[in-house]
Chains A and B, each alone.
Chain A
Amino acid sequence: MERRLRIGIDIGGTFTDFVAVDSVTGDIRVDKCLTTPDNPAIGVTVGLLRFLQRIQRSAGEIHTVVHGTTLVANTLIERKGARTGLITTRGFRDIPEIGNEIRYDLYDLNLVPPEPLAPRPLRLEVDERLGHDGAVHTPLDPQQVEGVARQLRDAGVESIAVCFLHSFRNPAHEEAVLQWLSAHWPEVDVSLSSRVSPEIREFPRMSTTLANAYVRPLMRRYLRQLERDLRGLGMAGSFYAMLSSGGITGVEDAQEVPIRLVESGPAGGAQAAVFYGTMTGERDLLSFDMGGTTAKICLIVDGQPSRSTSFEAARVQRFKKGSGLPLNVPVLEMIEIGAGGGSIAGVNALGLLQVGPRSAGSAPGPACYGLGGDRPTVTDADLILGYLDPNYFLGGEIPLYPDRAREAVVAHVGQPLHLDATAGAAAICAVVNTNMASAAAVHIAERGFDPRRFTLIAFGGAGPVHGYSVAASLGIRTMLVPLAAGTTSALGFLAAPLAVELGRSYMERLSRVDWQRANAIFTDMEEAGRRTILAAGGRAEEIRITRTADMRYISQGYEIEVPLPGGHLAPAATALADAAFHEEYRRLYGRSLDVPVEILSWRVRVAAPAPRVRLAFQPAGRDPLKGRRPVYFAEAGGFVDCPVYDRYAMRPGAEVEGPAIFEERESTSMVGPGARVQVDADLTLHVKVGVQAAATPAPHAGPRRARDQRSVS
């Protein structure tokens, strides 16, 4: 049987999404089933079997399965991981509890710090000490290792994190502990900080290693069972896991450092945006994924999503920086805003309208669900303004009650602010759109770009409803809305390359870098990356390696990532790196300085090319114009009689002028007066934002515009 089916599976907290693409015909099919949180492998297997039956394909036709999961993140949030112990350097077992001492909220005397993953009695110390250069100051005492191991075993520990000071410079002591444990306590799971996160700063390294240890036994069991079950169905193809960095890896490798899977779902979304960008020739994209609780925004420049080397998981307060567990994990950098369809609107202590970050979730949900929610949400506002059809939400599966929406808006927004239901709903949309646009504007400006060069790509349930206004606010002229926006992450998994990202710390002033040592670090990391890619089925001749270094002016606190050349680096690389740094610094901050530069970390990305995915959506053969209804547009000053189109019946090449509404099962797209919409071969909507809309609020667009006009020579 020909193996030509590529399957993406995104296991969310509530739903598991499936996407199947036939790699020969490009035929794409999607499905959803409920997640089975107690044993997610079962839900996946049963759901996949049903999906295959529905699309009349067999498991034997599967070429590849790529799977992403919120299991790691949820295990950390719900604190349902393994009983975990820590072995660390004498004097440092309280680091996970003390952290960096900074309060994440300046004014809240009742703030709750994140609870360490290992309680104090399970955090044990041994005598050993390395200097900052990796030299042994105090040798490791094997007797003490035996002692603490016995204590942890007696305490019922299942997984152990080992984190010694400066082990990223010299892993010998950590490796010795691993050896001892493998010989004497083989069933315990061990995570070494020098393998999980070989980077300077003991608090985030310890936190990352603990988090890895905490989720690993569970993830190991889960991935093994899932693979066994899939094989049991007759699946003979490759099985990959999506990484937070936007790459994929083999499941064997995934089990080693499962903490790297923590943000796999959102990474899939961003990769899907890259994919659609490639299809439409757009290289600079703002991916805008708005769901029920949050909106996630990722910047894609020249086809590359922006990356970060750290992430914060399991925040005590979801939208408060610093309230979570710091993780040194390569991730696609995203901002998450407390703005989704379920975000609750109300009047705050100042008598001002506030939308989010509190969310009504799916139970009770927005007031218009009629499930007992009485607080107005963004979805209620969307319904009142005519963006949503009360009889076609999730294709009509969930009936919406406009009266409930109006009552809630009037009671909690209208009355306190002296507005009627329509004005209240318009205000809710204005506030939530501004929040998202402002956050995006800050994010874009921090990276030194002008928002107007980007194309916004909207997906997620609420993304296509609000994308047009957000684009207009940012001064963005083009918006893309792909079809089947509800299962985008799973599709993104299929478009993700096999890739590994590795980093090492070696801090040195640029002028004094020992290039022999730098070469050794790169070779070491590149060999490790290559091995992983080959083991996961990548082909040696396709492997591409990119190198970067985290650099800054000496004494600065923030590094910028600077590209370095491949191959053997000679001292001449100093001048190259210096020039590259200054160029990037000038781009970010408009000037460079005459100050020496230093390198902190060295990074490589080892990747195979992204697979080519072809899609072939078949438009339905019916009249695309479903009807008309009154829809509110701020730029028109009120309700306008607006055509409503059936997304599935829009044919390639079709052109429509705004205002218009486009309905599909999982989402609705809205474009305002003056917009021009074109349907491409993949049934993606290309929207040119109307001039009227672009003339209304545009927060912060154009970072350097004003200075150009006003600077005095």
Chain B
Amino acid sequence: MREAMDPVSLSVLWNRLIASVDEAAATLVRTAFSTVVRESNDFACQVLDAAGNNLAQNSVAAPSFVGTMPRTMRHFLERFPLETWREGDVVMTNDPWMGTGHLPDFSLAMPVFRKGKLAAFAANVAHMPDIGGTIWGADATQVFEEGLRILPTRMVREGQMNEHLVEMIAANVRVPDLTLGDLNAQIAACRMQVQRLERIMDDADLDDLNGLAEGIISRTEAAMTAALAGVPQGEYRYSLETDGFDWPLTIALRVVVKDGRILCDYTGTSSQVPRGLNSVYNYTYAYTAYPLKCALAPEVPNNEGICRRIDVTVPEGTLLNPRYPAPVGARNITGHFLSALVFGALFQAVPHLVMAEPAAPANRSVFTGFWDTGEPFSLLFFTSGGLGAQTHRDGLTCAAFPSNAGFASAEISENAAPVQVTQKSIRVNSAGAGRFRGGFGQDIGVRVLCKGPVTLSVLMDRVKHPPRGLAGGGPAAAAAIVRNGEPIPSKGRTVLQPGDTVLISCAGGGGLGDPVDRAPALIQQDLANGLITPGWGERQGHPQQGGRQPRVEDARRHRSP
């Protein structure tokens, strides 16, 4: 048992630690090249103790990576035991099973030494612009097609870059300058973090971060335990069906809250599929822990202390724990569904802390082709739909969730590719009805302006399985994608012709509670704002508008208070 620190020293050191990780994150963002890191926020910087426990991460870190890095670190330490690390080393991997679930993400760690002893690790994870293989998509049948795979390796030894490895990466990716630029940015962020940690330990006269780690982690664990004490003990289930690639897939969750712990068991989930929708265990764990923390302990810092109270069980060989060499490229489509399951199950225990099904997974669409001048372009759209309704309010409209990836502006997009964004507007009538409605989705139109064809790769779900409501709340409008008015595949590639217009329609969020209970003032407000059209509400079960009294059957459906 490590000795914990007094609370005042802990408070002071903790604040400095967080500031230092944010500083490392700023270095990464400002020097990174890929839009994925800087616009989409798809990275995380972290500090781990010498045992590989996550201690702190930057304030707006990608939630998935916060969960995966400690697990990756354990693989690093298995491959490279503590005593083999030296100052200036960097170990990295992009193996989906040890890392974050797909090849584009590089996970890196650099040691911090004190008086000759390894005291902590600076680590970060970032999504590379390219990793070779087929372009980012869901249609690979094995991981080999998805790009270059690097098992844990010493990328830098005592300050010396492994140039052979660098050359090999450069030779295997479409945009070596950007990929290596990002990798350099990751190493720079690690270095910055290491210097800051050395300084913090100097000032506080610490030999390692163990006391700080134990103090923070045990306090976090205690706070998480306290939060769990507010959740009635019991077993709660939820399941849903996704569009899948070739056939629909089932995800089933059983949540057991007992004795200050929470178990999430995904037994009953579909088997792994020969398409890139499989989510490795690390990723499954991360996107299970994330919504749990949001719902139960939003104020508590995110570290090992949270994970000590959460168990996640997934049978091997399933969609959520696939065996090598399953394809995993679009695992985000599957992982993003898990919030809906966690919330759906917890709704039975703590309804006021969760939401109905959100529009997640967010849509990703990649437009690639050539300008009329012959230069290549690749444009990536991240577009989000509505969030689920809550017991006390309507869902948010067009909010990134559970990842926090934003939309680059239409003007920037039109400078980056020969396309015209024809609209980006709230999708009327797309929310799930309810006492509180879901958030609205959006419609984004994109027209091809160049004279040659453009390849569109789409990563989209919720087309056949729109977000559902809770407690009598209605489903949202399903997602859809059409070209010139005709549907095209929601996963996979389509070649667009000059002048074609694609319309991407994001789903809304599910409603919560019986629509008949919706306050007339809220209905009027949505009508006045043009978010719903006259008559839509009535079809969804809203009470009649226009001064008429509710009908008898409405009154009957009215829940007793």
Find residues 26-57 in chain B having any chain A CB closer than 8 Å to their own CB. Answer: 26-27, 29-35, 37-39, 41
CB of B59 within 8 A of chain A?
yes
Contact A91 B425 (CB under 8 A): yes
Contact A706 B7 (CB under 8 A): no
| Chain A 85-104 near chain B by CB (<8 Å), digits 1 or 0 | 00000111111011011110
Contact B299 A349 (CB under 8 A): yes
What is the size, in residues, of chain B's interface with A at 8 Å between Cβ atoms? 102
On chain B, the residues within 8 Å of A98 by CB distance are: 397-398, 407, 424, 426, 442
On chain A, the residues within 8 Å of B420 by CB distance are: 129, 131, 137
On chain A, the residues within 8 Å of B401 by CB distance are: 103
| Chain A 532-568 near chain B by CB (<8 Å), digits 1 or 0 | 0000000000000000000001011110000000000
Closest to A322 in B: B60
Contact A109 B390 (CB under 8 A): yes
Contact A348 B188 (CB under 8 A): no
A367 to B200, CA, bound (A): 34
A419 to B8, CA, bound (A): 10
A365 to B322, CA, bound (A): 58
A interface majority secondary structure: loop
Binds B, one of A60-68, A429-437, A666-674: A429-437
| Chain B 277-307 near chain A by CB (<8 Å), digits 1 or 0 | 0000000000000000111011111100000
| Chain B 399-438 near chain A by CB (<8 Å), digits 1 or 0 | 1110011110111101100001111111000000000000
Contact A699 B199 (CB under 8 A): yes
CB of B464 within 8 A of chain A?
no
| Chain A 165-199 near chain B by CB (<8 Å), digits 1 or 0 | 11000000000000000000000000000000000
- Given contacts A350-B216, A445-B23, A555-B35, whether A435 and B384 have CB atoms under 8 Å apart is no
A90 to B382, CA, bound (A): 21
CB of A113 within 8 A of chain B?
yes
On chain A, the residues within 8 Å of B30 by CB distance are: 446, 556-558, 588-589
On chain A, the residues within 8 Å of B222 by CB distance are: 350-351
A595 to B198, CA, bound (A): 32
Distance (whole angstroms) from the CB of B451 to the closest CB of chain A: 15
Closest to A713 in B: B159
CB of A632 within 8 A of chain B?
no
A590 to B27, CA, bound (A): 11
Contact A435 B198 (CB under 8 A): no
Closest to A590 in B: B188
Contact B181 A446 (CB under 8 A): no
CB of A202 within 8 A of chain B?
yes
Distance (whole angstroms) from the CB of A412 to the closest CB of chain B: 13
Find residues 1-29 in chain B having any chain A CB closer than 8 Å to their own CB. Answer: 7-8, 10-12, 14-16, 19-20, 22-23, 26-27, 29
Find residues 336-362 in chain A having any chain B CB closer than 8 Å to their own CB. Answer: 347-354
| Chain B 521-543 near chain A by CB (<8 Å), digits 1 or 0 | 00000001111000000000000
Contact A90 B423 (CB under 8 A): yes
Contact B160 A91 (CB under 8 A): no
CB of B462 within 8 A of chain A?
no
Contact B8 A350 (CB under 8 A): no
Contact B404 A200 (CB under 8 A): no
Distance (whole angstroms) from the CB of A79 to the closest CB of chain B: 17
On chain A, the residues within 8 Å of B11 by CB distance are: 352-354, 427, 431
On chain A, the residues within 8 Å of B181 by CB distance are: 553, 555, 593, 595
On chain A, the residues within 8 Å of B126 by CB distance are: none
CB of B379 within 8 A of chain A?
no
Contact A120 B530 (CB under 8 A): yes
Most A C-beta atoms less than 10 A away, residue of B60, B445, B531:
B60
Contact A427 B16 (CB under 8 A): no
CB of B88 within 8 A of chain A?
yes
Q: Which among B7, B198, B199 is the interface contact of A417 at CB below 8 angstroms?
A: B7
Distance (whole angstroms) from the CB of B520 to the closest CB of chain A: 18
Distance (whole angstroms) from the CB of A279 to the closest CB of chain B: 33
A700 to B406, CA, bound (A): 31
CB of B223 within 8 A of chain A?
yes
Contact A700 B425 (CB under 8 A): no
On chain B, the residues within 8 Å of A589 by CB distance are: 27, 30-31, 188
CB of A201 within 8 A of chain B?
yes
Q: Which among B14, B27, B192 is the interface contact of A352 at CB below 8 angstroms?
A: B14
Closest to B156 in A: A712
Contact A202 B409 (CB under 8 A): yes
Closest to B66 in A: A106
A147 to B295, CA, bound (A): 47
Q: Which among A91, A354, A698 is the interface contact of B423 at CB below 8 angstroms?
A: A91
Contact A557 B35 (CB under 8 A): yes
CB of B220 within 8 A of chain A?
yes
A200 to B408, CA, bound (A): 11
| Chain A 308-350 near chain B by CB (<8 Å), digits 1 or 0 | 0000000000000000000000000000000000000001111
A699 to B195, CA, bound (A): 11
CB of A642 within 8 A of chain B?
no
Q: Which among B35, B158, B204 is the interface contact of A697 at CB below 8 angstroms?
A: B204
Contact A698 B203 (CB under 8 A): yes
Q: Which among B63, B406, B442 is the interface contact of A100 at CB below 8 angstroms?
A: B406
Most A C-beta atoms less than 10 A away, residue of B31, B87, B158, B384:
B31
Q: Which among B59, B414, B424 is the interface contact of A131 at CB below 8 angstroms?
A: B414
Contact B59 A442 (CB under 8 A): no
Find residues 405-422 in chain A having any chain B CB closer than 8 Å to their own CB. Answer: 417, 419
Q: Which among B35, B293, B415, B530 is the interface contact of A121 at CB below 8 angstroms?
A: B530
Contact B203 A697 (CB under 8 A): yes
CB of B61 within 8 A of chain A?
yes
CB of B355 within 8 A of chain A?
yes
- Given contacts A120-B530, A350-B300, A712-B160, whether A102 and B423 have CB atoms under 8 Å apart is no
Contact B194 A706 (CB under 8 A): yes
| Chain B 237-274 near chain A by CB (<8 Å), digits 1 or 0 | 00000000000000000000000000000000000000
Contact A438 B223 (CB under 8 A): no
CB of B125 within 8 A of chain A?
no
On chain B, the residues within 8 Å of A354 by CB distance are: 11
A679 to B302, CA, bound (A): 49
Closest to B220 in A: A350
Q: Which among A102, A351, A353 is the interface contact of B406 at CB below 8 angstroms?
A: A102
CB of B493 within 8 A of chain A?
no
On chain B, the residues within 8 Å of A132 by CB distance are: 411, 414-415
Closest to A132 in B: B414
Contact A434 B396 (CB under 8 A): no
Q: Which among B159, B390, B424 is the interface contact of A712 at CB below 8 angstroms?
A: B159
Contact A106 B61 (CB under 8 A): yes
Contact B19 A441 (CB under 8 A): yes
Contact A101 B407 (CB under 8 A): yes
| Chain B 135-164 near chain A by CB (<8 Å), digits 1 or 0 | 000000000000000000000001110000
Contact A700 B33 (CB under 8 A): no
CB of A108 within 8 A of chain B?
yes
A352 to B27, CA, bound (A): 29
| Chain A 679-700 near chain B by CB (<8 Å), digits 1 or 0 | 0000000000000000011111
- Given contacts A109-B355, A556-B33, A697-B204, whether A349 and B223 have CB atoms under 8 Å apart is yes
On chain B, the residues within 8 Å of A438 by CB distance are: 15-16, 19-20
A103 to B353, CA, bound (A): 18
Closest to A508 in B: B415
Contact B399 A91 (CB under 8 A): no
On chain B, the residues within 8 Å of A593 by CB distance are: 181, 184
On chain A, the residues within 8 Å of B415 by CB distance are: 132, 200, 507
Distance (whole angstroms) from the CB of B410 to the closest CB of chain A: 6
Q: Which among A430, A442, A697, A711 is the interface contact of B26 at CB below 8 angstroms?
A: A442
CB of A710 within 8 A of chain B?
yes
Distance (whole angstroms) from the CB of B354 to the closest CB of chain A: 7
List 9 additional contacts besides A98-B407, A699-B199; criterion CB under 8 Å: A94-B424, A97-B426, A98-B424, A98-B426, A113-B396, A120-B531, A202-B409, A427-B11, A446-B27
Pull 6 A–B residue pairs with CB atoms less than 8 Å apart, ordered by A.
A93-B425, A98-B398, A102-B405, A107-B298, A352-B11, A557-B30
8 closest Cβ contacts across the A-B interface?
Answer: A91-B423, A557-B38, A712-B159, A438-B19, A706-B195, A102-B406, A350-B219, A107-B298
